[in-house]
Chains A and B, each alone.
Chain A
Amino acid sequence: MKRSEVLFVVLAFAALALFPLVAEPYGIDRVTKIMVFCIFALSLELLVGSTGLVCFGQAAFLGVGAYAAVLLSPQDGPAALWWLLPVSMLAAAAYALFMGALSLRTRGVYFIMVTLAFSQMAFYVVHDTPLGGGTDGIYLNNKPVLGTLLDLDRPLPMYGFTLACLLIVFVLLALILRSRFGRALAGIRVNEQRMRATGFSTYPYKLAAFVLSGAIAGLAGFLFAVKDGFVNPELMSWHLSGEVLIMIILGGLGHLRGALLGAFVFAMLQEFFKSEAIFGDFAKHWHLGLGASIILSVALLPRGLVDVPHQVVQRLLGWRSNAPGGKGRS
């Protein structure tokens, strides 16, 4: 990463760390949710932006993680975080292993369709069987605890824990992407045929990325379930898989910070267009405004929001070099 990019990320995390000092409870709740979406978006960014695998079933992993957290929690008291969290992630990773092992044999649009099909399978399992409580979902009555250290039932510890998870995931992915494994994934994204000719067995690499991505999405699902104390089949719906795809495209594919930006801006746009204070009755039709603004931003910023500084500099310098007497650098 360039120095300016590192600075951006450091400032963003610093702002998130300081936010609770100035925020109302409602704001803390919203930002916690957005940070969970950031983790979810990062998990998909690893597949789409870094490896070139357009997965349209990411919500399945989120859902498996969330349902695992609820279903494995004992009825009579809180579960211990130290085992419930890894086990929920493992459950999501296991589903990713199963889904990846089969779907990675296909390519392009077929891959998109097969991943969608696998996520719909998971959706209908929780939607139509008694296991997941059907359309109503299930409540998580006792939130997991870490001894007396951490009580995730209170908003502030939940906020801090989510932020810590986000930071760990971000740093982990940043390290992985510059490692040999990450460079190999980048090579697969750009030219898989050449990677094979060079001696990389690409299938295990893609599968490993898939499983890792599933585990991270499972973490997001766990946090989702614990934060809301509630899961329902909507967590596995293809709408959510589509939304997270829009987030990373909006933010800018191929950049981890794009996933963060995308998740935040998407949530803010949603909030904005849903606001009755601004739009009055029209707020009912918030999908319209959200959709139009996303189309607009993709049209104007094909490389996503991460490209904004570059665009601004270019427009500004372009304007200066055209101005009479101005000597702009090209």
Chain B
Amino acid sequence: MTSGEVLLRAHGLSRRWGGLLAVDQVSLELQRGSVHAVIGTNGAGKSTLINMLSGELAPTGGRVELLGQDVTSWSQPRRARAGLGRSYQRNTIYPSFTVFENCRLAAQARTPRPWAWWQDARKCPTSMATAQTSVERAGLNDLRELAAGLLSHGQKRQLEIAMCLATEPDVLLLDEPLAGMGAEETERMLTLLAELKASHATLLVEHDMDAVFRIADCITVMVNGSVIASGTPDFVRNSPQVRVAYLGEH
């Protein structure tokens, strides 16, 4: 596990919806040990980009490489099994299951064994251990037996991350993990993301600019589907195009 190793690479990724070019020729690299943030106004194409990287949406142009392999034609589940984990902007949990079961089911994806019909799912030591680790890591251990639907909004966001971790991914695609969180919850989440940074390659789509500039090593700015600037936080902060187009300065 070497830091700086490129785990996910997008080459000229495009997505066209009829006459609208939602994402236009976006290229980026995600390295282990660093957080790559993608920022942009609503409708800039950030979610479309994340959906193409995760395999939920097929690109109309360009390609995606995961761990050195061309995965452009791979389905989302296959990419997930190869080490791509994602969280959703809107909470996408299993509300009727317990917090722990949410994570256990996610961990089960690594040892699916669907043919073992006589075996209790809760008797699988691997997925039980992984689920426990991810519940603890996300700080939800006290709530592990609670139905996930009863969690507060912030806790649900934490659970999103925990479920993502339970699949033991190398690459994390996090779609607005801080959306709707209070100050204290934001701090906790940022601490968690900082902890995860060393061992993962992280893509962070986020609207909270303070958080982005604090945690990101590299920032890509998108406007109307295209990248207008990409580089270190300092570079982006001082880029004239970004100031005009995004930060609203004239």
- Please tell me if B121 contacts chain A, counting CB pairs below 8 Å: yes
Closest residue on chain A to residue B114 by CB atoms? A181
Chain B residue numbers with a CB within 8 Å of A191 are 92-94
Interface window among A138-146, A199-207, A277-285 = A199-207
A172, A182, A194: which has the most chain B beta carbons within 10 Å?
Answer: A194
- Please tell me if B11 contacts chain A, counting CB pairs below 8 Å: no
**A197 engages B86 (CB within 8 Å):** yes
B75, B76, B105: which has the most chain A beta carbons within 10 Å?
Answer: B105
Given A194-B92, A197-B92, A199-B167; A178-B76 close (CB under 8 Å): no
Given A194-B94, A198-B167, A199-B81; A178-B109 close (CB under 8 Å): no
Chain B residue numbers with a CB within 8 Å of A181 are 114-117
Closest residue on chain A to residue B160 by CB atoms? A194
**A184 engages B108 (CB within 8 Å):** yes
A201 to B108: give the CA distance in the assembly, Å: 12
Within 8 A of A (CB), among B88-142: 88, 92-97, 101, 104-106, 108-122, 124
A180 to B94: give the CA distance in the assembly, Å: 16
- 3 pairs of A and B residues whose beta carbons are closest in the complex: A199-B80, A199-B109, A181-B114
**A201 engages B114 (CB within 8 Å):** no
How distant is A247 from chain B, measured CB to nearest CB, in Å?
23
- Please tell me if A208 contacts chain B, counting CB pairs below 8 Å: yes
Given A190-B94, A198-B105, A199-B109; A180-B116 close (CB under 8 Å): yes
Known: A180-B108, A187-B105, A199-B78. 5 other contacts (CB 8 A): A175-B118, A178-B121, A197-B88, A198-B163, A201-B75
**B77 engages A202 (CB within 8 Å):** yes
Give 1 or 0 for each of A186-198: 1 = CB within 8 Å of chain B CB: 1100110111111
**A179 engages B118 (CB within 8 Å):** yes
A180 to B78: give the CA distance in the assembly, Å: 18
The majority secondary structure among interface residues of chain B is loop
A148 to B121: give the CA distance in the assembly, Å: 41
- Please tell me if B195 contacts chain A, counting CB pairs below 8 Å: no
**B75 engages A184 (CB within 8 Å):** no
10 pairs, CB–CB < 8 Å, chain A vs chain B = A178-B122, A179-B117, A180-B111, A180-B113, A181-B117, A187-B105, A190-B95, A193-B56, A194-B92, A196-B76
Closest residue on chain A to residue B75 by CB atoms? A201
- Please tell me if A176 contacts chain B, counting CB pairs below 8 Å: yes
Closest residue on chain A to residue B80 by CB atoms? A199
- Please tell me if A183 contacts chain B, counting CB pairs below 8 Å: yes
Chain B residue numbers with a CB within 8 Å of A178 are 120-122
**B80 engages A196 (CB within 8 Å):** yes
- Please tell me if B54 contacts chain A, counting CB pairs below 8 Å: yes
Give 1 or 0 for each of B213-224: 1 = CB within 8 Å of chain A CB: 000000000000
Other-chain residue from B75, B97, B117, B167 in contact with A176 (beta carbon distance below 8 A): B117
Chain A residue numbers with a CB within 8 Å of B116 are 179-181
**A180 engages B112 (CB within 8 Å):** yes
**B86 engages A201 (CB within 8 Å):** no
Chain B residue numbers with a CB within 8 Å of A180 are 108, 111-114, 116, 119, 121, 124
A183 to B105: give the CA distance in the assembly, Å: 7
A123 to B114: give the CA distance in the assembly, Å: 33
**B97 engages A175 (CB within 8 Å):** no
**B120 engages A179 (CB within 8 Å):** yes
**A198 engages B119 (CB within 8 Å):** no
Other-chain residue from A190, A200, A202 in contact with B97 (beta carbon distance below 8 A): A190
